[in-house]
Amino acid sequence: MEANMPKRKEPGKSLRIKVISMGNAEVGKSCIIKRYCEKRFVSKYLATIGIDYGVTKVQVRDREIKVNIFDMAGHPFFYEVRNEFYKDTQGVILVYDVGQKDSFDALDAWLAEMKQDLGPHGNMENIVFAVCANKIDCTKHRCVDESEGRLWAESKGFLYFETSAQTGEGINEMFQTFYVSIVDLCENGGKRPITNSNASFTKEQADTIRRIRNSKDSWDMLGVKPGASR
Ligand code: GTP
Ligand code: MG
């Protein structure tokens, strides 16, 4: 059995899964979980110290799913605490703040931290990732647009959601799709399901789109030197 396959009592009945949250400090990880589990929002920032743990039950099709949620602190200070919790995970909620470009740029470093902790035998392909572009209610400060976030997520085979823990927008949809994908993964022998999106890109397509978006002029866009012949 794969290392991060969940513990199953009776096939087709109950299932126990482990989910973690990841992303920079203050992006809204705890608030997203709180919004879903407690239907409320706290505007005061209360940094997670190390890890917060909670258990919840959800129903997916004919299965009762017991979800163990490990909400991680994003502050670099808690690196060693986080490293105790990456293994045996079936789902990751990977969050950035659409008004903080740094938090979007940091997503690769978060994947690298997890990969490093899982070691050479850890398999990230068996994990469902839900990327949350959070704080979409703060429209004035938005600096990472939907296409950029979606491109990053879908080129990696991750789910992508626009969310606001404050208004609740996108939160239920995110959790429902996330849990269904985890159950599909378990029923699919541990292989991540194909995303349903029409806008999925291969890595090569995503790299090309990224290069075009970041090009400084038409020459750069075509990947040629200024003055190049036809
Ligand atoms: P760490 O535990 O330090 O890693 O932070 P975190 O990612 O858990 O952030 P947390 O959920 O504590 O939220 C940080 C701050 O952002 C708080 O002041 C929240 O009220 C605020 N916040 C979270 N989500 C949203 C959102 O969707 N919209 C707005 N406007 N504020 C949000
Ligand atoms: Mg937190």
State the CATH architecture for 15-222.
3-Layer(aba) Sandwich (3.40)
Measure the CA dihedral 219/220/224/228, to 10°.
Answer: 20
Q: How do residues 141-167 score in pLDDT, each as one tens digit? A: 999 999 999 999 999 999 999 999 999
Can you tell me the mean pLDDT for 23-48? 97
d(CA 168, CA 134): 10
Q: How do residues 44-97 score in pLDDT, each as one tens digit? A: 999 999 999 999 999 999 899 999 999 999 999 999 999 999 999 999 999 999
| Domains in the chain: boundaries | 15-222
Give, for ligand 1, the residue of 24, 33, 42, 45 to mutate: max count of ligand atoms closer than 8 Å to Cβ: 45
From the CA of 28, the nearest ligand is: 1
d(CA 35, CA 153): 23
What's the pLDDT score for residue 58? 95
221 alpha carbon, distance to own chain's centre: 30
What is the per-residue DSSP string for 165-224?
Answer: TTT-TTHHHHHHHHHHHHHHHHHTTTPPPPP--TT---HHHHHHHHHHHH-SSHHHHHT-
Give, for ligand 1, the residue of 31, 33, 81 to mutate: max count of ligand atoms closer than 8 Å to Cβ: 31
**Ligand 1 lined by 170 (C-beta under 6 Å):** no
CA atoms within 13 A on the CB side of 129: 24
Q: Bridge partners of 14?
A: 64
**Ligand 1 lined by 74 (C-beta under 6 Å):** yes
94 and 110 Cβ atoms separated by less than 8 Å: yes
Using CA positions, which residue lies closest to atom 26 of ligand 1? Answer: 135
Dist. CA 28 → ligand 2 center (Å): 7
ipTM: 0.99
Dist. CA 6 → ligand 1 center (Å): 29
Confidence of residue 138 (pLDDT cuts 50, 70, 90): very high
